[in-house]
Structures are given as structure tokens and as C-alpha cells.
Amino acid sequence: MILSIESSCDDSSIAITGIGDFKLHFHKKISQELEHSRYGGVVPELASRLHAEALPKILEEAREFLPHIKAVAVTNEPGLSVTLMEGVMMAKALSMGLGVPLIGVNHLVGHIYSLFIEQKERLPKRVLLVSGGHTMILDVKGYKDMEVLATTLDDSFGESFDKVAKMMGLGYPGGPVIERLAREGDENRFDFPVPLKNSKKLAFSFSGLKNAVRLAIGELKNLSQKDMADIAASFQKAAVTHLLQKSKSVCEKLEPRDFAIVGGASANLYLRDKFEKLCGEKGLGLEFAKMEFCSDNAAMIGRAAIEAYKAGDFIDPKELKVLPKSCFT
Ligand code: KG4
Ligand code: ZN
């Protein structure tokens, strides 16, 4: 079994995964959303202190599996340096203490492998990754064989939901709140610009849309519940339309390939519905990670680590570094 640890942002999580059969024997996650909510975003030092409390507690619950552990895996890139460090320190100590190899996992690769938790890998695929830190389309052929086809020029998709929620005083994380509000709103009331609509660039951008929302909020001054719902719905429509348009361009430019959507924001049901329609029209298969594995978790890190284990891709504990900004190896 592999013991995996995730602490790249505000979720402390540990999983135990069977190497041969992919079985998830243990999985626990303690989210810090409540603690960060009143600040309207993740406070790195607070997150790091909460990881230092939560990770040993979760490890204690997984104690019975320790004699069966053949490798320890940990997210070491990208993420917040102070929070990544908490998981990495624990992983190094466990690897040395148990005398088993250490595996460093890229968080984004982890999100991609959230598709294959308790399953065999099914590749190649085009994958749209929508999270709080990233928005990209990748051509994924294997664990170490993936190419970024489009990425964001500024904010990420999830981050834009967080910022719009913050502008309306709705707390953090913004994604689920905006999605919920949008269900009651009129998505055609505000004509927010769909980013890069007339550009051939295969890229994403959310800062212009965010500013358009800011201006609309400024003009309204006192926001009613109806105003907030209409803003949420109109913003969500523009943001998702942007993802759809660029994904469509990628599909049209390159040979057809099945599509998958991963990352915390892939839990958005409006997005899921729109992509189901698009892929249906194009005759492409579409997959999502299970709802419980969309946001950050150690099960996806453990699943990705199985591929590294099979390839013998281990790292000396003295060499494993925290890489906050890295994207892909
Ligand atoms: O993947 P994730 O858990 O963490 C990162 O790797 O960033 O994604 C968290 C992000 C946050 O920005 C959150 O607001 C967004 O995903 N998110 C959503 C939804 N649920 C979470 N965005 C839009 N709609 C949602 N339902
Ligand atoms: Zn993530």
C-alpha cells in the first residue's frame, strides 16, 4: 500500500491505497474552509498551523496500515510553500522511519488521476483542469507524458468565483456559494463580456470579467438578494461560456479525443451540464472525477503515486524540495 499526503492549500488529507488493486483502504480529509472563510481567502500561516494539528491526528487514525506501507507519497508542487512544507516534512519522516521509498507528486497530476481512483488509468484524454490555482487544457497520454495546450493569462476559473463572492461579502470558497445563488438568478440580466471571445488565442483569462462584475456591483450600490443572484448567474454564464468556447477551439484544431474535467471547480453542475451538451454534439466521451474527489484530497495523490511506484520514480528524502510555483515536470 501507498500512504499519501496532501497539504498544498487548505485541506489536510491522508490516504492509503492498494498498489496492485488501486483499492482505497483509508481516506480522510480535514478542510479548513470555515477557518479561512472570514478572511475571504486562504491565510497561508493559519493554514500551515492547522495542517500541523490535523495531519498527525489523521495519521493516528491510519496507524493500523503502517506495517503494510511500501512507499510514502506527498504533494510537493505547486501550492503554498508553508503548507506544502507541512506534508513534505511528515512524508520525509515517515519514509525514513518506515524505511520505504519517497515519491513527490505534482498536485495537478494528482487532480488528473482523480479520474482513476480505484480504477485503471484510461488514457489518452484531453483534460480541462479547473481549480483555485489553475485553469488549463492538457493533452494527457501518461503519468509523465502530458502537454499543456492552453492555460490562463491571469486568474483561474475557481479564483474568479472566489473573488466575485468576496466582492459581495459571501465568504470563502466562493464557487459553491455563487453556483447556489446563480440557480435563483437571471443569467441574462447583466451582459458580462465573455473573455477572449474574438481572439484566436488558445488561452484563458478571467481578470476582465472580474472587473466587469466589480463595476456592475459598484453601480448598484446597495445589493438586494435578487441583484446578487442575477450577478452570480450572469457571471457564471460568462465564465463557463469562456471555458466552452476555448475547449471547442482546442477540439476543432486537434484530432478528436475524449474529454475529462477535473479540479475543485469541476463540481459545478452548471458547468457539467454545458460540457455534456458540447461533448454530445461533438460525439466525444466526457468524464468527471467523482464529486467527493473534485476538491483537494490525498486519494488522488495516492492514485497518481501508483504510476510513479511502478516506474520506480522515487526520490531521496534529502533531495525532495517544495516547489510552490512549478506547473509540470
Ligand atoms: O482543486 P481545489 O480544491 O483547490 C485547488 O487546487 O485550487 O479547487 C478549489 C477551487 C476554489 O476556487 C473554489 O471556489 C472552486 O474550486 N470551486 C468551485 C465550485 N466548488 C469549488 N467553483 C465553481 N463552482 C463550484 N461549484
Ligand atoms: Zn487542487
**Torsion angle of the four alpha carbons 137, 140, 143, 147, in this order, in degrees rounded to the nearest 10:** -60
Mean pLDDT of 304-311: 98
Assign 101 to helix, strand or coil: coil
Residue 28: C-alpha distances to residues 58, 201, 280 (Å): 7, 41, 35
User: Are the beta carbons of 48 and 82 closer than 8 angstroms?
Assistant: yes
What's the rounded Cα separation, in Å, for the pair 276 and 306?
Answer: 30
Query: Does the beta carbon of 249 sit less than 6 angstroms from any atom of ligand 1?
Result: no
DSSP H stretches of helix in the chain: 33-37, 44-61, 81-98, 107-113, 157-167, 174-182, 207-220, 225-253, 269-282, 298-310
Give tens-digit pLDDT for 202-253. 999 999 999 999 999 999 989 999 999 999 999 999 999 999 999 999 989 9
* Strand pairing category for 145-151 and 11-17: unpaired
Q: What is the pLDDT of residues 151-182, one digit of tens each?
A: 999 999 999 999 999 999 998 999 999 999 99
Reading the block at residue 296, the C-alpha cell is 483537494
pLDDT band at 328 (very low <50, low <70, confident <90, very high): low
78 in contact with ligand 1, CB cutoff 6 A:
no
Q: 3-class DSSP state for residue 103?
A: strand
Q: pTM of the predicted model, to two decimals?
A: 0.97
Give pLDDT tens digits for 83-109.
999 999 999 999 999 999 999 999 999
Best residue among 30, 159, 268 to mutate for probing ligand 1, ranked by most atoms within 8 Å of CB: 268
| Ligand 1 atom nearest to CA at 111 | 1
Q: Measured in angstroms, how far is the CA atom of residue 2 from the centroid of ligand 2?
A: 20
Ligand 1 pocket check for 230: Cβ under 6 Å: no
pLDDT exceeds 80 at position 124: yes
Percent residues over pLDDT 90 in the chain: 95
Q: Give the pLDDT band of residue 329 (cuts 50, 70, 90).
A: very low
Spell out the residues 6+ positions from residue 158 whose beta carbon is closer than 8 angstroms to its own. 130, 131, 132, 133, 135, 173, 175, 263, 264, 265
- From the CB of residue 202, how many other CB atoms can be counted at a distance below 10 Å? 16
Pocket test of ligand 1: the residue of 36, 161, 325, 327 to mutate, having most ligand atoms within 8 Å of its CB, is 161
* Beta carbon of 133 within 6 Å of any ligand 1 atom: yes
Whether 296 lines ligand 1, by a CB cut-off of 6 Å, is: yes
Nearest one of 118, 124, 117, 120 to 142, comparing CA atoms: 124
- Say if CB 17 and CB 116 are below 8 A apart: no
| Residue 102 Cα to ligand 1 middle (Å) | 28
Instruction: For ligand 1, say whether the CB of 158 is within 6 Å of any of its atoms.
Output: yes
Q: Domains, the chain, ranges and CATH?
A: 2-117+293-310 (3.30.420.40), 125-288 (3.30.420.40)
Q: How many other C-beta atoms are found inside a 10 Å radius of the C-beta of residue 249?
A: 18
Contact 175, 161 (CB under 8 A): yes
For the chain, helix, strand, coil in percent to 5 are: 45, 20, 35
Ligand 1: does its nearest atom lie under 6 Å from the Cβ of 41? no
How far apart CA 300 and CA 292 sit, in angstroms, is: 11
Alpha helices (H) in 26-152, listed in sequence order: 33-37, 44-61, 81-98, 107-113
Residue 131 has φ and ψ, to the nearest 5°, of -135, -165
